[in-house]
């Protein structure tokens, strides 16, 4: 892994939001194209879905969705439930960022698309039973 990429990955963990956001923008742009390092960072991104900082959780979710666009090992099929859990995040903005990126999972192929549809159907059913205060 090149030093610039590693530096940006490291910067995702900092509490300095400006540094963290620059790293996120760089990585989001990088992962919009096929990358040869997807599986080198995959497990870290999955672990970050449960990070104590909601900003890190949102970043991890969005990057994983981008990485899943090209997932020949079909890792997303195993890790999708952890990703979908972020749509239930206590912080609405984190859940929203994840939800807005989930569509990318379905682009990876038929099995990915079926997993995504099943997950979204399940979330829809959960939402039906929840009522908001008038």
- For residue 51, is it left (φ>0), alpha (ψ between -120 and 50) or beta? beta
Is 98 inside any structural domain?
yes
* Burial of residue 85, with CB atoms counted within 10 A of its CB: 0-12 exposed, 13-18 middle, 19 or more buried: middle
The CA-atom distances, in angstroms, between 50 and each of 8, 36, 115, 132 are 20, 25, 21, 26
Cα–Cα–Cα angle for 21, 57, 132, nearest 5°? 115
Is 74 inside any structural domain?
yes
- pLDDT at site 127: 82
Condensed to tens digits (0 to 9), the pLDDT of residues 3-18 reads: 999 999 999 988 889 9
What would you report as the CA-atom Rg of the chain, rounded to the nearest whole angstrom?
15
Residue 91 belongs to domain spanning: 3-129
| Total count of domains within the chain | 1
- pLDDT at site 131: 62
Is 68 inside any structural domain?
yes
What sign results for the dihedral spanned by CA atoms 119, 111, 58, 40? positive
Condensed to tens digits (0 to 9), the pLDDT of residues 89-128 reads: 999 999 999 999 999 999 999 999 999 999 999 989 888 8
Tokens of 75: 């890792």
pTM, two decimal places? 0.91
N-terminal to C-terminal alpha carbon distance within the chain = 53
Is 7 inside any structural domain?
yes
- pLDDT at site 134: 55
Residue 29 pLDDT grade (very low, low, confident, very high; cuts 50, 70, 90): very high
Is 134 inside any structural domain?
no
- CATH number at 27 reads 1.25.10.10
Q: What is the mean pLDDT of residues 21-46?
A: 94
The CA-atom distances, in angstroms, between 35 and each of 19, 120, 132 are 22, 27, 42
Q: What is the mean pLDDT of residues 63-72?
A: 94
Cα–Cα distance measured from residue 87 to residue 90, given in angstroms and rounded to the nearest whole number: 9
Is 77 inside any structural domain?
yes
């Amino acid at each position: 892994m090149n030093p610039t990429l590693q530096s940006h990955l490291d910067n995702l963990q900092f509490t300095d939001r400006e540094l963290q956001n620059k790293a996120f923008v760089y990585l989001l742009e990088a992962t919009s194209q096929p990358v040869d390092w997807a599986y080198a960072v995959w497990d870290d991104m999955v672990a970050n879905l449960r990070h104590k900082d909601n900003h890190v959780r949102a970043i991890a979710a969005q990057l994983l969705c981008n990485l899943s666009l090209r997932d020949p090992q079909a890792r997303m099929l195993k890790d999708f439930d952890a990703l979908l859990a972020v749509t239930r995040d206590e912080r609405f903005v984190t859940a929203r960022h994840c939800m807005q990126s989930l569509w990318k999972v379905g682009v990876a192929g038929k099995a990915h698309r079926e997993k995504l549809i099943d997950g979204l159907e399940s979330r829809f059913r959960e939402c039906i039973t929840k009522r908001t205060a008038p």
